[in-house]
Amino acid sequence: MKQRLAAILAADVVGYSRLMAADERATVAALDAARSVFRTQIESNQGRVIDMAGDSVLAVFETATGAVSAALAIQRGIRLSGERTPEDRRMRFRIGVHLGDVIEKTDGTVYGDGVNIAARLEGLAEPGGITISDAVQGAVRGKVTASFVDQGEQPVKNIPHPVRAYAVRADGNAAAKPSPAVGEIDLSLPDKPSIAVLPFDNMSGDPEQQHFADGIAEDIITALARFRQFHVTARNSSFTYKGQAVDIKKVGRELGVRYVLEGSVRKAADRIRITAQLIDADSGNHVWADRYDGRLENIFDLQDEITNTIAAAVTPAFAIAELQRVSRKHPQNLDAWELTLRAGQSFALAGPADIAEARELATRALLLDGRNTAALAMLAFCHVSEGWWAYSPSPLASIAEGIKAARLALQEDNSDADSLASLGWGLFAARQFDEGLDVLRQAVALNPNLANGFARYSSALAFCGDYEKAAEAFDRAIRLSPRDPRLGNWLAQVAVGPFVAGRYQEGIGYGRRAVQSNPSFMGAHRVLAANLSAAGELEEARREVAEMRRIVPGVTVATTRWLPFRDDEARERYCAALARVGLPD
């Protein structure tokens, strides 16, 4: 045996079992043709095939450039050969490439962490796509005709440190550009003004004033997000920079925005000073800056003035009258407002205790201000979530309470898109499918920047079995809030769509990313277990069932059966898949 540095390519067929079940003869023929493409391109790029067992391929290369060039040529060749095949019968491969040490035996086989990492990267790739490690990206940048999409650091099983992954995009060939990967975010600048509002710095020296400073920034986000002319990054993504010394150019790249707003709040006695500056994230130049002084009783008027000035600086064509016409109705009690902010922080964690805490905080806010629409919408989401995720002993009763809270919020402000989204999600959970979908559509039409609204709409579409539309709505949600703490929740919901459609490998992709994003969320383990079981990967599915029962001991097939699948066959298939791997009745 000898140890050496090599570029490792690992590939696997997407949905091989499904293809074999549909047409065994055609699948075998397509696999043989694909193997020929692999062998030709590997050998012509200074590589060597190690194994082609089953539907997988393993190869090593002398250079990272050779491995990526081969991968691009392979995906192009397989795509072209399948153009006349119906979409649902096309053979697609995922490919992962890593540059690392391997142990090579005298018979030519290779082992080691480098092989394991390549295989894990392959699992992160989209159907028909390529994912590479940062080591490969650094070696091939500028040497291949391709661009790279940063997918962040990814945990790798049995490897002590996470690996930074990049999706590879073929340049100069529109047909070669694959669709976005499972959970991947396209962060190219949108064709309209885009802005992220960072959490305002608390300059008061009083930690208790931090929520006040957060609230100022959040209300600016909310006001800006009401406009179709803006792309506004959601609070839950921009606030991940809280407490950090930030590089504005880096923030712009990570959130996919052209402008970044930052500011500070200084509060003393009954007076307040707010400073804000708008920065071009591409050049780092200041576009606009100003300072506002006033008394606390006029704080919402001050905030409206700030919002109007920012909008005017970004898009001078906006009319101030339009800003005033659709300005959001503000909570009238600062204490209730702070409680609602804290409820949102707890809700994003999604565990049983977290949702219970969020519900309690929202209830306390309403005791102080019973007309607080934000608190009512949050309370609605808490109740519906406790029912939907089997946290409540009486799911339907919890959902009914959620619908009641959402209707109260809309009585106060019928143009509040978040309240509409909470009502639509509740109605869908109560199996009023058509009305729920209609209300969710209204919510995202009213506020096209409402990330959570698109996520809930995606969830409803997934449970209806409309996987393609569910994936589109999900992509819109994460584009609006690419660093959202609720991403694990959203991924778990959309993963139901491919299960209903029988596309279990794609469901596994969403499910694994959901678990990676939020391992304490029971729903992520549940949907991953169901897709794994249906795909025949029973050992891993049993582990996921054990984990979901550790998080929520009372979860059973019975508590799962009432989930709002529109199709009864899909519900029973989902429950049967979980029962098969150990979920008790």
pLDDT tens-place string over residues 33-55: 899 899 989 988 889 999 988 88
Host H or E run for residue 478: helix 467-480
Tell me what pLDDT residue 439 has: 94
Tell me what pLDDT residue 527 has: 94
Q: What is the residue type of 583?
A: L
Mean pLDDT (the chain) is 82
In terms of pLDDT, which residue wins out, 458 or 223?
458
pLDDT tens-place string over residues 551-560: 888 889 988 8
27, 134, 514 from 85: Cα distances, Å: 11, 35, 32
pLDDT at 172 > cutoff 60? no
pLDDT at 189 > cutoff 70? no
- Straight-line distance from the first to the last Cα atom of the chain, in angstroms, rounded to the nearest whole number: 51
In terms of pLDDT, which residue wins out, 117 or 145?
117
Least confident of 177-186, 324-333, 379-388: 324-333
- DSSP collapsed to 3 states, 136-188: HHHHHCCCCCEEEEEEEEECCCCCCCCEEEEEEEECCCHHHCCCCCCCCCCCC
Calpha distance 28→24 (Å, rounded): 6
Tell me what pLDDT residue 306 has: 65
Q: Tokens 């009585």 label which residue? A: 411
Dihedral (CA of 63, 98, 256, 420) sign: positive
Tell me if 557 sits within 8 A of 576, measured CB to CB. no
- Give 319's pLDDT tier (boundaries 50, 70, 90): very low
pLDDT tens-place string over residues 464-499: 989 889 999 998 888 777 777 788 889 999 999 999
Dihedral (CA of 122, 124, 129, 133) sign: negative
Domains and CATH numbers, the chain: 2-176 (3.30.70.1230), 194-325 (3.40.50.10610), 449-585 (1.25.40.10)
pLDDT at 549 > cutoff 60? yes
Least confident of 172-181, 236-245, 379-388: 172-181
- Give 307's pLDDT tier (boundaries 50, 70, 90): low
pLDDT at 291 > cutoff 90? no
Q: CA neighbours within 13 Å on the CB side: how many for 508? A: 21
pLDDT at 32 > cutoff 80? yes
In this prediction the pTM is 0.54
How many Cβ atoms are within 10 Å of 167's Cβ, its own excluded?
A: 21
pLDDT tens-place string over residues 331-370: 344 467 667 777 887 888 888 889 999 999 899 888 888 8
- Give 178's pLDDT tier (boundaries 50, 70, 90): very low
In terms of pLDDT, which residue wins out, 318 or 287?
287
- DSSP collapsed to 3 states, 305-339: HHHHHHHHHHCCCCCHHHHHHCCCCCCCCHHHHHH
- Give 184's pLDDT tier (boundaries 50, 70, 90): very low
Residue 556: exposed, middle, or buried by beta-carbon count in 10 A (0-12, 13-18, 19+)? Answer: middle
